[in-house]
Structure 1
Amino acid sequence: MPHVPPAPDQPPVLATLTTCAAERTPDVALFADDGWPAAPGPVTDFATFDRAVTDLAGRLWTAGVRPRATVAIVFANHPRIQLAAFACHRIGAIPALISSAMPDDYLVGTLEALHPTWTIVDSAVAARLSARVREAIDRNSRGRVLRTRAHDGDQPPAVLPELPAPGTPDAQRLRDDEVALITHTSGTTDLPKLVAHSAASIYQHVVPQLGLMTSFGTHRLSAKAISFVHARASSAIITCLLIGMPIGCITDDDPARVADFLHRHGPESLETHPNTYISWEGLASDPRRPMRTISRFSSTFDAIHPRTVRAMLDASDAEDAYFFQAYGQTESGPLAGRPITRADVYNHDTRVIGIPAAGRTVRIVGDDGKPVPFGTAGHIECLSVSQMVGYVGRPTPAVTDSWWRMGDVGRVRPDGTLELLDRLVDKVPGIDSTLALEDLLLARFPALQEALILGSDDGAVDVIITVKTGSTIQDDDVENALRDRGVANIRLHRLLPADLPMTGSKKVRRTSLRSKLDRL
């Protein structure tokens, strides 16, 4: 029987969580689309996951990793990132999950901000590190760099020693309020911020999911195609381990491969990034109906386009299918969310993201920091039980018993629901909501893969579009649609999807895109 989760104010012991889950429900599936080769054997379920965690924890301990040491984990995107994190938890070390998808400048800057005690690199990343990044890893870890295999048969580069044989350390528990996990923000506008969470704060990312998941039943497969360095991946794995829910991890988000995975495994729920869902819209017309079994779609990483939500619900054969749109950030944890059903998908604005969850309060303030009336746009601020401990390597604004500014512009509607209008850094003078205009373009023109609206120093409105393969669209049609909404001085750019600079969570790096446009 699945374990009854701990109370909301009693976080699980991260050092022993995988072992406890393996003892309760050893055969519950936990696997990846590539077969997940890992010493001491492939990971297929809770028991083999725990066995691999124990093996890696023993190797790290033998290498010299000790409690409260910070361990940078720089792997290719794969759930083995979470395996390594739990290996660190086992011996009381602090895992710092670093996306290897960052540009070199960001990766070097992140390592310099972190100054890890140790760094562990997998062979897939080690094989493609630039000399500059390799030097930054070695310098910031003071030579304490280890390597693990991403695939059986990989050989370590001469400069990266392989992990030693495993020892048998005892589990080392940290206090619930100590820093236990470091992740980072997406880095859409600048160098990603390193965010520290305790066992208590990351558990508050989990708590809202526990009741929701158990109310649906925990026996059906949950499929995740997400960034496995993200705090969302940590909370997802913790949730599944606590309630005994099977989880299948998708590391290759190519639509054809995803269709094969979904057709073969028939998951009940599916989660990925909004821009990944966009690339999967064509699966709705796949004759195999690979999404037919999915009753719960979800996304927590960014605003999602209404057109995409409709496509996903159309792809499901489940009578009660819905799309759960959530809102939050790495620093604050999840704040609000709401389900979108077929009954309201044509009338619901996906930027209306629901009422704050228990333990969360949201308010809207003006530039002076004072609350504004209902319906008035301003800065979104929150108080949340899931707020971070603080930033690493940079000053941290007050977060304890203080309102946290999200960096988003929105308003609270009279019914208490929160409406997201824009990221503050994306505001364009004279436009109420660039997000609303982007939604308009995607709804009006099915041929569009993506539409982005950026301001510029010279006052022009830069509109960037990418077009689906095999589709066509006229520039004049796009420009006229925007002019009808009062947008003037439009400068249209066509790019290929591959030309958009993306984060590991498939968000567009808008600052990098701005620089790209300036060079055109």
Structure 2
Amino acid sequence: MLLHEILVDAAREVPERTALIVPGHASWTFAELAAHARALAATVAARTSPGARVGILAFNRAEYVAAYYGVPWAGRVLVPLNPRLHPREWADQLARSGAELLFGDADLLDRLGRPEVPTLDLDTVASMPARAFAPAADESALTWLLFTSGTTGRPKGVRLTHRSLTAAMRASLACRPVGADTVVLTPFPLAHVAGYQVGAHHLARRPVVVLRRYEPAELAAVVREFEVTNLSLAPTMIDALLDHVREGDGLRERIRSISYGASPITPDLIRRVDELLGCGLDQGYGMTELSGNAVFLAAADHRPELYAAAGRPGPGVEIRIVDDAGRPVPTGDTGEISVRSEQVADGYWQLDTGEFADGWFRTGDLGRLDADGYVYVLDRKKDVIITGGENVSAREVEAVLREHPDVRDVAVVGEPDTRWGERVVAVVVAAPGASVAPDALVTLCRSRLAGFKVPRRVLFTDALPVTGTGKISKPALREQVAEGSLRA
């Protein structure tokens, strides 16, 4: 299936149904969204060559979604640039992609300066004249070139296709059923792969509410006004939302489900969701290279014995756990998670680092697969700390530290050490009003973990650095540790 066919078919079947709401900005029906996307496609086709890359630099807005569909509709490749990055990073990604045109918000384009490519203000999209163009027709053609969040190094461009994106959308719909009255709200930046869920809900002919920015204190009003039933949030966002839940605000009565991903969720947060909202939770495990989520933990599976699981593979998704040589390991053993599916991306842009081979993608995540088919994600291979020749999983240490009632959040990183190679450092966010003694956390770890896994230093911060999708940025955290900017 071609990406724009989702929109064309929806506009034909339910033209007057609301497709997209950006509170305070726009509300478009499927017919209106299709018209905007078609106009943008025509403009792109007139100004660029077939297969050209077209950048977009903007905060969440309705025209961004029009570009999601419109640029691939014209047979071009959309290159979303994260508006939270530095202008030097925007320029680097534009140059690496070879973009021929750039759409954007006027203020962000001003910050970029004078790029090498022509620019168009997204505010002009509505006035673009209708022109004829030849629509895309190849499912294997590139649609989006998405740069990774760079949590483990320099961001890489990921080649997503019509086929990979629509496969990811179908997998999500199969594992997260959408009802006849479902209205989902997402605050994730449209520059990230999480935006694939917009297309998934449009495939189900349901509206999507896209926030320009996440303001948990204002969320209840948005939920009431637009009859939102489902939320898509990172655990850090859920935690912030629960601090603002108030009796009579309507959230408990209206929210039926919260889908989450990007990082693990704690048993305490699950308990708080149940107490304050009483809604279901479902988890998705995925990444840019998988065009979205590929593994899902259903609401019914949110029980204590499965809290540590990421879930089961979606339909059409094969998972195997492999050793460093790429050989499958026995069930239950730890190794690298490898995925084969139509939703696997077409590789990296102008880069071959070996992760894509024979239809399989090696994720860089360490994990295991149990006898019932549940996938457990243990850590990033690059987040494994090597101290004194022993491997320490940062995620394992974090899980123990989260058991302390006064720890709201925590991240563990390795710090260079002349004797041991690296030493384990825990960076803690204390619960509101709590005071956590480092010795108490060290004692807790010693009661659960081998001695070499116990943090040698415990530091404190008010907030952990995160990427646009809510993942903790370990490179940024290592920099903070090295700079000495955190509290002891």
TM over 0.5: yes
Instruction: Give the superposition deviation at 1:104.
Output: 4.2
Count of matched residue positions in the alignment of Structure 1 and Structure 2: 473
Cα distance in 1 for residues equivalent to 2:39 and 2:312? 43
Which amino acid in structure 2 is aligned with residue 454 of structure 1? Answer: V
Cα distance in 2 for residues equivalent to 1:25 and 1:519? 56
Partner of 2:462: 496
Which amino acid in structure 1 is aligned with residue 122 of structure 2? Answer: T
Partner of 2:218: 257
Instruction: Give the superposition deviation at 1:204.
Output: 0.8
Cα distance in 2 for residues equivalent to 1:249 and 1:77? 7
Instruction: Give the superposition deviation at 1:76.
Output: 1.5
Q: 1:91 aligns with which of 74, 82, 91?
A: 74
Structure 2 residue runs without a partner (length 5+):
none
**Superposition map of 1:62-101 within 5 A:** 64-101=47-84
Instruction: Give the superposition deviation at 1:198.
Output: 1.5
The answer to whether the 8 Å contact 1:278/1:308 transfers is yes
TM-aligned CA distance change 1:268 to 1:34, over 3 Å: closer
Instruction: Give the superposition deviation at 1:387.
Output: 0.9
SS of alignment partner, residue 259 of structure 2: strand
Instruction: Give the superposition deviation at 1:308.
Output: 2.4
Partner of 2:282: 324
Q: 2:398 aligns with which of 435, 438, 454?
A: 438
Instruction: Give the superposition deviation at 1:478.
Output: 2.6
Residues 1:181 and 2:160 aligned together = no
**Superposition map of 1:328-343 within 5 A:** 328-333=286-291, 334-341=293-300
Q: 2:33 aligns with which of 38, 49, 52?
A: 49
Cα distance in 1 for residues equivalent to 2:8 and 2:103? 23
Residues 1:147 and 2:104 aligned together = no
Partner of 1:153: none
SS of alignment partner, residue 313 of structure 1: helix
Which amino acid in structure 1 is aligned with residue 266 of structure 2? Answer: H
**Residues 373-432 of structure 1 deviation map (CA, whole Å, 9 limit, x = unaligned):** 222211111222211112113225373634321101111123232111101111124565
Partner of 1:158: none
**Superposition map of 1:193-272 within 5 A:** 193-212=156-175, 215-233=177-195, 235-272=196-233
Moved more, 482-491 or 457-466: 482-491
Instruction: Give the superposition deviation at 1:469.
Output: 4.6
Instruction: Give the superposition deviation at 1:164.
Output: 7.5
**Residues 152-176 of structure 1 deviation map (CA, whole Å, 9 limit, x = unaligned):** xxxxxxxxxx997423223512311
Cα distance in 1 for residues equivalent to 2:455 and 2:265? 27
Moved more, 163-172 or 293-302: 163-172
**Superposition map of 1:99-118 within 5 A:** 99-118=82-101
The answer to whether the 8 Å contact 1:201/1:388 transfers is yes
Which amino acid in structure 2 is aligned with residue 100 of structure 1? Answer: P
Partner of 1:518: 482
TM-aligned CA distance change 1:443 to 1:251, over 3 Å: farther
Cα distance in 2 for residues equivalent to 1:178 and 1:253? 33
CA RMSD of superposed structures (Å)? 2.7
Q: 1:404 aligns with which of 345, 350, 361?
A: 361
The answer to whether the 8 Å contact 1:91/1:169 transfers is no
Cα distance in 2 for residues equivalent to 1:34 and 1:416? 41
Partner of 1:418: 375
Partner of 1:18: 7
Identity of aligned residues (%): 21
Structure 1 residue runs without a partner (length 5+):
1-10, 37-41, 151-161
Cα distance in 2 for residues equivalent to 1:349 and 1:52? 44
The answer to whether the 8 Å contact 1:284/1:312 transfers is no
Which amino acid in structure 2 is aligned with residue 116 of structure 1? Answer: A
Residues 1:305 and 2:239 aligned together = no
Partner of 1:155: none
**Superposition map of 1:277-288 within 5 A:** 277-284=238-245, 286-288=247-249
Q: 1:457 aligns with which of 407, 412, 416?
A: 416
Instruction: Give the superposition deviation at 1:331.
Output: 1.0
The answer to whether the 8 Å contact 1:379/1:409 transfers is yes
Residues 1:356 and 2:339 aligned together = no
TM-score, with structure 1 as normaliser: 0.83
**Residues 479-517 of structure 1 deviation map (CA, whole Å, 9 limit, x = unaligned):** 3222322343521111122xx432211222211221221
The answer to whether the 8 Å contact 1:106/1:192 transfers is no
**Residues 121-157 of structure 1 deviation map (CA, whole Å, 9 limit, x = unaligned):** 2124234x2xxx435xx13x3xx2222239xxxxxxx
Residues 1:30 and 2:9 aligned together = no
Q: 2:113 aligns with which of 121, 126, 134?
A: 134
Moved more, 385-394 or 289-298: 289-298
Which amino acid in structure 2 is aligned with residue 219 of structure 1? Answer: D
SS of alignment partner, residue 320 of structure 2: strand
SS of alignment partner, residue 456 of structure 1: strand
SS of alignment partner, residue 441 of structure 2: helix
The answer to whether the 8 Å contact 1:295/1:322 transfers is yes
Cα distance in 2 for residues equivalent to 1:106 and 1:189? 16
